[in-house]
């Protein structure tokens, strides 16, 4: 896995000048077909998902990139062990607006940046490194290693895309198949943490 970025802007700048091939996204997951993982997420509403599908059309002709299916679009916040204090502490802390805008590319994934100051509250005091926590929604992943030049041509016009804003009212802890051959299948919800009223569901 390539070096971690400390800002979304530095990730984009690196992508613009990258010479080595993009990495294969699925290599970071095990081969065991029964392997599962859990993660705290924000699931975007249907309007944001539809806007993401429009952006995905731009790289639809690149067969070495797998578009993330609508049912798997999310903003990852971290593993249950890392974030268990965060969601429980922030239950009933209030909903907030998140902005989905600006297309970017990491070492093996095409992403949309997610802006909301409150997102960093979720990792305060946990094991997540705040310096490299870059909120994003992955919309495409690499099936194989490839030279980044063609993808740069596709993504440059999309850099300033604006998918819209959405109110975040809850966090979800989800469990999902996470082997190389099963990743991107639907998740199951383990628990939900409302940010407005009520408690863990």
Q: Residue 33 pLDDT more than 60? A: yes
* Average per-residue pLDDT for the chain: 89
Q: Residue 83 pLDDT more than 80? A: no
201: in domain: no
Q: Residue 84 pLDDT more than 60? A: no
Closest to 42 in 3D by CA, of 193, 199, 200? 193
Whole-model pTM: value is 0.91
What CATH number does residue 108 fall under? 3.90.1140.10
Rounded mean pLDDT of 39-54? 96
160: in domain: yes
pLDDT, residue 126, reads 60
3: in domain: no
Secondary structure (H, E, C), 62-122? CCCEEECCHHHCCEEEECHHHHCHHHHHHCCCCCEEEEEEEEEECCCEEEEEEECHHHHHH
Torsion of CA 179, 70, 110, 34, to 10 degrees: 0
Q: Residue 124 pLDDT more than 70? A: no
- Percent of the chain scored above 90 by pLDDT? 73
Q: What is the spatial distance between Cα 178 and Cα 162, in angstroms, rounded to a whole number?
A: 30
198: in domain: no
61: in domain: yes
More confident residue, 80 or 141: 141
More confident residue, 72 or 82: 72
Q: Residue 200 pLDDT more than 60? A: no
- Percent of the chain scored above 70 by pLDDT? 87
65: in domain: yes
Q: What is the spatial distance between Cα 75 and Cα 113, in angstroms, rounded to a whole number?
A: 10
Q: What is the spatial distance between Cα 138 and Cα 124, in angstroms, rounded to a whole number?
A: 23
Sorted by sequence, the CB contacts under 8 Å of residue 16 that are 6+ apart come out as 152
149: in domain: yes
Look up tokens 């940010």; give the residue. Answer: 195
Q: Residue 90 pLDDT more than 70? A: no
pLDDT, residue 41, reads 92
CA dihedral sign, ordered 10, 167, 90, 74: negative
73 CB-contact burial (10 Å; exposed 0-12 / middle 13-18 / buried 19+): buried
Could you give the number of structural domains in the chain? 1
| Domain of residue 121, residue span | 8-190
197: in domain: no
Q: Which residues lie across from 96 on neighbouring strands? A: 168
Sorted by sequence, the CB contacts under 8 Å of residue 129 that are 6+ apart come out as 4
pLDDT, residue 199, reads 47
């Amino acid at each position: 896995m390539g070096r971690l970025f400390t800002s979304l802007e530095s990730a984009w700048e690196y992508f613009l000048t990258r010479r080595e091939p993009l990495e294969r996204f699925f290599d970071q997951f095990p081969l065991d077909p029964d392997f599962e993982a859990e993660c705290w997420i924000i699931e975007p509403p249907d309007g944001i998902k539809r806007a993401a599908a429009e952006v995905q059309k731009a790289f639809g002709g690149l067969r070495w990139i797998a578009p993330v299916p609508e049912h798997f679009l999310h903003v990852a916040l971290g593993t249950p062990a890392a974030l268990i204090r965060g969601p429980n502490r922030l239950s009933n802390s209030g909903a907030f607006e998140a902005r989905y805008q600006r297309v970017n590319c990491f070492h093996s994934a095409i992403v949309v940046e997610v802006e909301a100051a409150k997102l960093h509250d979720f990792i305060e005091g946990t094991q997540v490194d705040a310096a490299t926590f870059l909120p994003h929604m992955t919309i495409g992943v690499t099936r194989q290693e490839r030279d980044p030049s063609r993808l740069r041509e596709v993504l440059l016009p999309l850099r300033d895309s604006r998918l819209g804003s959405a109110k975040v009212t809850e966090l979800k802890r989800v469990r999902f198949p996470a082997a190389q051959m099963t990743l991107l299948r639907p998740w199951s919800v383990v628990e939900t943490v409302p940010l407005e009223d009520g408690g863990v569901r």
